[in-house]
Amino acid sequence: MQRRALLTGSAAALVAGVAGCLGEIGPTSSARAKNTERELALVEQDSVPDEYGFSIETTLLEETVAEDSPARLEVRTTNEGDERALSVGEAGCSLFNRSRGGSDDPEGLWLYRHTDHLERVDGRWVEDRDAEEGRAFTTQGCPPRAYDPGESVVTEYEVWHDFQVEGYFQPGTYRWSQRVSGWDDPDARWGTDKAVSLEWGFALRVSNPDS
């Protein structure tokens, strides 16, 4: 598998001085921004062989993790050939859904669909949950999805820090991967022999612009 490599008087002066000191108690908004802002870059994504008849592409939509907005990306799966079935679906059956949302090399980041509604720590993109708290996922079967010629399934994600991992968007490169299968029969179901199968993934690099 090939990978594409994809940063005025004394009194007034006294009042001003006191006000200045009071204003510096605790982190200022600019200081908080410096502590929480990160830059993300898409540095790698696997290619799907042309003969497989479909493509998968990750696009970084927003590269900055700011105090008031997260980094965002989309994953687009496209059928490039005849009608077929693929293991990539929508909603809970999308790529990197549920337990697959966490980066696996190394752990530390998590992908949430932009339609998810989560409580977060003030000023940070991390769930407001205890690190010792476990995750629970719904049990949901995901049968192969039929794709028309040229049809695409697009899922948009927000990139958050994993609440179970210490730190916050630690600089480094994080990778996600998942097995994707395809069937020539658009009506295929699990148990039907697969025509193709491969491990597909991508990697993001996190950097701290203030370091």
CATH number at residue 52: 2.60.40
Q: Is 33 domain-assigned?
A: no
Q: Ranked by mean pLDDT, which of 1-5, 47-51, 132-136 comes out on top? A: 47-51
Q: Is 29 domain-assigned?
A: no
H or E element at residue 19: helix 10-23
Among 11-20, 35-44, 49-58, 101-110, the range scoring the smallest mean pLDDT is: 11-20
Total Cβ atoms within 10 A of residue 37: 15
Distances (CA, A) of 168 to 38, 110, 158, 189, 206: 9, 12, 15, 41, 11
For the entire predicted model, the pTM comes to 0.81
Q: Is 105 domain-assigned?
A: yes
Res 136: pLDDT = 62
- What domain count does the chain have? 1
Range of the domain at 46: 3-7+40-207
Q: Is 15 domain-assigned?
A: no
Mean pLDDT of 194-208: 97
User: Which residues, at least 6 apart from 28, have a Cβ–Cβ distance to it below 8 Å?
Assistant: none
